[in-house]
Structure 1
Amino acid sequence: MYNLFSLLLVCGAHLVSAAAVPPVSGYAPRPATCPNTPLVRTATGISSSESAYIAARKPIASVDLGKWLQKVNKNFTTANLPNVALTTSGGGLRSLLIGAGVVQAFDGRDSNFGTSGLYQGLTYQAGLSGGGWFLSSLAGNNYPTISSLETNLWTPAFAESLVDPAGAAAPAAYAQITADILAKQAAGYTPTVVDPYGRLLSYQLLYGPDGGVADELSSITGLSNFTSHNVPFPIITALNVETATGECTPPSNSVIYEFSPYEFGSFDSGVNAFTQTKYLGSLLSNGKPIKGCETNYDNLGFILGTSSDVFNELCTTFPAVASTPGLVANLSALINETHALTTMDEYAIYPNPFYNYAHSSLVSGQKNLTLVDGGESLQNNPLFPLLQPSRSVNIILVNDNSADTSANFPDGSELYQTYMQAQMAGLTKMPVIPPSSTFVSEGYNIRPTFFGCNDASKITIIYLPNHNYTFPSGEPTEKLEYTPAETSGMIMNGQQVGTYGMSSTFPTCLACAIVKKTGEKLPAACASCFNTFCYN
């Protein structure tokens, strides 16, 4: 998925002395009164907060989904409509931009295509790594249109590159980031390179002073589009590395952790628990606070940096690489303001909320969780959270922007790996997915394909792979700088991915796949659609 060393060894360093550091930072965790509700719960289903959000979101989404279906074809039913989700894969800025174009093609506020309006009918939205960057930028900024993000934030930010936050104001930004790192250290938490990495990403992805430093994942619950239930429920994923056993990277069956505005945790059997996102950073034992609670650890930049942390792939060479000019050296210079670099600085470190928690047998003995990129287990599409029976998802639109091939395009192998892992995990709602050889031989890697069409017990996956319709969209994952023309070209190509090259018949076929889950009678045109797009 990554040409990792190219990503980590590019870019010159901006070094800032401690003397230049501003005195104030909004980044550090801070003491807070503990809530009356339990801080940790067993993963017997979704939380009451998420359940309440979905209960309020569902009727709104159903009305909007029904409006879109009627726009496509008046003969579609609008009764008993299914829950539809969207995922955006990892893949750096390539995935962010293609994923943005897909959403723009579905967003009735921002386009006028046959697919426009489908986004308003979604119930869930998930992302990891580059897809997590996209979802964080969208949700953290209160779900503006892609057009506004492209014009007002992304185009100037991506032209300046990751290592030049705020362009000409980069020295002041680096001074502020240094203050942020020192403030976290002073609060009693050891920062790692993921902290400055997340801060740099925030300058590209979030509005507000100090690169949106005030944005917390839990604070999304107070934004107007969320409180009015006008948007799909967001989930970002990451993986844990068992550093105590000498591992550097997660295995293929690694525990998949999910971050939402309400909770952090995992349904996987070794963890089987969730904690409240707002109180991440609190030191807990058996679900109880050891010395009070903390807030502000769920800084959105830190979480989106966590989901895209690939520094662990350097493994034992990490400290040595930090002496070579490049991004690692750049980040390490900031960390050296607080401590000497070690291999633990490769990871995003979270005080383990499941320490001494009996239901979390795999991690109950660990003081800290060491999290990394959500796609490192070769599951680059964040599907596991949506396969959980308690979420009742029926349709998943999977925008896959993985770099499986030498040309940086997907070949279906990530989706196949998820299918294999889902079988082992007992997630029976996952439909049958063929190996990548079938994707390539049948052309599923370059056009939409529907999996699970004819099995009512399975989720239908609508696979939307990145393909170079109108722009050379196989950009390297390690590419950190896009010209305005490239940013625009990638987003427009993403529109093509979402509309199957602006096909006049594809909106009908999308609608057919969605309404088929209702069991209601379908328009005659659906027969041709299923012949064209359904696997098997």
Structure 2
Amino acid sequence: MHLSALLPLALLHPLLASAEPVRIPPADDLILSPRARPDAPSGSYAPAEVKCPSVKPAIRRANTLSKSESDWLMKRRPATVDPMIAFLKRVNIDGFDAEAYIRKVAPRIKDLPNVGIAVSGGGYRALMNGAGFISAADGRTPGSTGAGGIGGLLQASTYLAGLSGGGWLVSSIYANNFTTVETLRTGRKDSNIWKFDNSIFEGPDMKGIFDTPRYWKDVARQVGDKRNAGFETSITDFWGRALAYQLIDAPDGGPAYTFSSIADDDEFSKAQTPFPILIADERRPGTKIISLNSTVYEFNPYEMGSWDPSTFGFAPMKYIGSNFSAGVVPSDGHCVAGFDSLSYIFGTSSSLFNAFLLQNISNVAGVPEFLLNAATKVLEDLDAADNDIAQYQPNPFFGWNNATNPTATSTELDLVDGGLDLQNIPLHPLIQPIRAVDVIFAVDSSADTTYAWPNGTALRASYDRSLGTIANGTLFPPVPDANTFIALGLNQRPTFFGCDPTNFTTTSPSQTVPPLVVYIPNAPYTAMSNVTTFTPSYKTAQRDAIIQNGVDGATRGAGALDARWPACVACAVLSRSWARTGTAPPAECARCFERYCWNGTVVSASVQGAGGEYAPTFIIGDGGEDAPSAAASLAARGRWVGMAVVAVCGLMML
């Protein structure tokens, strides 16, 4: 049974009769004005019927970009020219006139460097480490454009993708005026934005003494609105709504904010920001395992759908709650808007945490009894309940691509955490040939080892998937195994994969040389940032230390480990463009590629730590008393590993 079956009784509980919405100061007091909007027609979390546009919404084939994205790119690509020139001039590749080159190729858009950034999953660890990279790449961050900095790279980028915890980061940035990481972590008085010292089980600080009961009653009321409107609900609804209080600086966590409303924002519509994408995996009907052959779905401001040959179609994001059949809304059908709640989308991308929420909510004082009883009932029926999934019902792809779409005959599309197929870095949308991305900065905060450090597994999974038919011919740079990653220290410093475009053989007109991938792993520069995926709360000082550690990883310690690292970043940005235009890379870039490109070396002899017990020491040095230490990280692991194991085991049973 679904948790939604329990909601009608729960919502009749007398505690809710007097429940008041959580109040924070009016919007005009916010320093973080919203970019996504409270666009749901119901004015709440519930979807609602709306008048269909003159041309009814329809599913399109995934053989091109949408017209909306294509039109947006015609504005965005030229808009990156000046920021790119400013960035390239500042980092100053020896012997290369960057401005002259960019001015020369700019009129021919396809020769202009096309930059993407992908932020991995990994819970709050991924959000904080990813925030460090974004902060370093953002030219608005104080100090980011100084010596050793890579500030301006974000402004020169076309795409910004996130998954699970990385999706929280991307969503929070766009929900709050595409603001800076500095502003998000500083917040304002009485704001709960990025205040992770209170876990989502406890909820934010509110006026009065009954903060936690009021918070959960409010979340239950919001989810109940959706259920009462006739839509199925699951734990993903609760999870997303709870997260929203920390990620969206709006009253009640912005229950009416939608993902599609980003498209209507002035700055986005003028292409003054990168293009945000979140991803999730499909769980096929009747299956329990999420494999590399699972269909990968993406969410962007215009559409939801998949490039994979299984579904190979996209639905208009604003209307995904409509009753599509065979790709169209029937003549007697109605259009529905508001299903694409921003919190439901980032909850979908991180549904790994659903069982964790269920397992641990009972440990928090003040949670209303009706909700505890509901959670207990769900746990009892977990194997049958499918509460690890996000339910998209009605299924937008019902009757679509019947020959290959595994959910074509199902009225419900079930999506799960985008990292459950091991592709924990959202590279999939950025390697699609139609998007022609040249370079991807892949920020990896995965917990591949016993002590929650990455070892390249996510990158390797994307390479392995590219070898199968599900990839539809999309190429990916070769990646070595975990043993080689650790033996060569590839998980302790940036590494470039796919440096030489002549190493790739295309066998059809639709195949293209894949992007160069700049791998940026989470590593202990100034803090032991390997906090567990399921650690639910962080003191402000610890949060800031992990973000700073991410900055150090992005900048090689502001140049302390390599003063010419910013120039090497520029070389990576320009590499594919040089190949297209027949331009020889400058000598400095040849030296950069020698330092940072994986040259194909594979270490077959087993190395210490490759089996999982990998325990690195500080690369730069202890960041001070506020930075997480090795001992603190291990202690946190001891406290939460039991909960994590229970949660993951519960999911693996499904």
**What is the TM-score when the length of structure 1 is the normalising length?**
0.90
Moved more, 373-382 or 209-218: 209-218
Q: State the number of aligned residues.
A: 514
SS of residue in 2 equivalent to 1:274: strand
Q: Distance in 2 between matches of 1:162 and 1:324?
A: 9
Mapped pair 1:513 → 2:572: yes
SS of residue in 1 equivalent to 2:155: helix
Indicate the RMSD between aligned Cα atoms, in angstroms.
Answer: 2.5
State the Cα distance separating 1:284 from its structure 2 match. 1.5
* Structure-2 residue corresponding to 1:136: 171
Q: Distance in 2 between matches of 1:406 and 1:265?
A: 35
* Structure-2 residue corresponding to 1:81: 112
State the Cα distance separating 1:173 from its structure 2 match. 2.7
Mapped pair 1:185 → 2:221: no
* Structure-1 residue corresponding to 2:49: 31
Mapped pair 1:282 → 2:322: yes
State the Cα distance separating 1:159 from its structure 2 match. 1.1
1:384-434 Cα shifts (integer Å, max 9, x gaps): 111111111110000000000111110001100110101212444311111
Q: Distance in 1 between matches of 2:56 and 2:184?
A: 37
* Structure-1 residue corresponding to 2:134: 103
The question of whether the paired residues in 1 share the 8 Å contact of 2:56 and 2:329 is answered with no
Residues 109 and 336 of structure 1: CA distance in aligned 2, closer, same or farther (over 3 Å): same
Moved more, 481-490 or 354-363: 354-363
* Structure-2 residue corresponding to 1:18: 16
State the Cα distance separating 1:157 from its structure 2 match. 2.1
The question of whether the paired residues in 2 share the 8 Å contact of 1:16 and 1:178 is answered with no
Q: Distance in 1 between matches of 2:526 and 2:566?
A: 19
Moved more, 155-164 or 201-210: 155-164
Q: Distance in 1 between matches of 2:568 and 2:486?
A: 22
The question of whether the paired residues in 2 share the 8 Å contact of 1:404 and 1:413 is answered with yes
1:272-302 Cα shifts (integer Å, max 9, x gaps): 1110110121122112225301111100001
* Structure-1 residue corresponding to 2:145: 112
Q: Distance in 1 between matches of 2:369 and 2:414?
A: 18
2:186 aligned partner, one-letter code: T
1:431-482 Cα shifts (integer Å, max 9, x gaps): 1111121111111111000111111523100000001101110011101111
Alignment of 1:294-305 (within 5 A): 294-305=336-347
**What is the TM-score when the length of structure 2 is the normalising length?**
0.75
Residues 340 and 357 of structure 1: CA distance in aligned 2, closer, same or farther (over 3 Å): farther
Q: 2:85 aligns with which of 63, 66, 70?
A: 66
Structure 2 unmatched ranges of 5 or more? 1-12, 22-41, 106-110, 503-512, 600-654
The question of whether the paired residues in 1 share the 8 Å contact of 2:43 and 2:256 is answered with no
Q: Distance in 2 between matches of 1:335 and 1:385?
A: 39
The question of whether the paired residues in 1 share the 8 Å contact of 2:308 and 2:472 is answered with no
Q: 2:186 aligns with which of 148, 151, 165?
A: 151
Mapped pair 1:464 → 2:520: yes
Alignment of 1:440-451 (within 5 A): 440-451=486-497
Q: 2:396 aligns with which of 324, 349, 353?
A: 353
* Structure-2 residue corresponding to 1:325: 362
Moved more, 31-40 or 438-447: 31-40
Q: Distance in 2 between matches of 1:84 and 1:372?
A: 27
1:240-259 Cα shifts (integer Å, max 9, x gaps): 112x32x2341232110001
Alignment of 1:35-54 (within 5 A): 35=53, 36-54=55-73
SS of residue in 2 equivalent to 1:167: coil
SS of residue in 1 equivalent to 2:46: coil
Q: Distance in 1 between matches of 2:214 and 2:373?
A: 19
State the Cα distance separating 1:347 from its structure 2 match. 1.6
Residues 333 and 133 of structure 1: CA distance in aligned 2, closer, same or farther (over 3 Å): farther
Structure 1 unmatched ranges of 5 or more? 1-14
The question of whether the paired residues in 1 share the 8 Å contact of 2:223 and 2:233 is answered with yes
* Structure-1 residue corresponding to 2:598: 535
State the Cα distance separating 1:346 from its structure 2 match. 2.7
1:348 aligned partner, one-letter code: A
* Structure-2 residue corresponding to 1:206: 248
Q: 1:126 aligns with which of 139, 155, 161?
A: 161
Larger Rg: 2
1:175-220 Cα shifts (integer Å, max 9, x gaps): 2212112111111012111111100000000011110212100011
Amino-acid identity (%)? 37
SS of residue in 2 equivalent to 1:284: coil
1:29-59 Cα shifts (integer Å, max 9, x gaps): 1111123154211111211111111111001
* Structure-2 residue corresponding to 1:7: none
* Structure-1 residue corresponding to 2:300: 260
* Structure-2 residue corresponding to 1:483: 539
1:119 aligned partner, one-letter code: L
* Structure-1 residue corresponding to 2:418: 374
State the Cα distance separating 1:324 from its structure 2 match. 8.2
Q: Distance in 2 between matches of 1:462 and 1:331?
A: 47
State the Cα distance separating 1:339 from its structure 2 match. 13
1:432 aligned partner, one-letter code: P
Q: Which has the higher contact order (CA 8 A, sep 6+)?
A: 1
Q: Distance in 2 between matches of 1:204 and 1:405?
A: 28
Residues 16 and 495 of structure 1: CA distance in aligned 2, closer, same or farther (over 3 Å): farther
2:400 aligned partner, one-letter code: Y
2:71 aligned partner, one-letter code: A
The question of whether the paired residues in 2 share the 8 Å contact of 1:87 and 1:126 is answered with yes
SS of residue in 1 equivalent to 2:80: helix
SS of residue in 2 equivalent to 1:137: helix
State the Cα distance separating 1:356 from its structure 2 match. 1.1
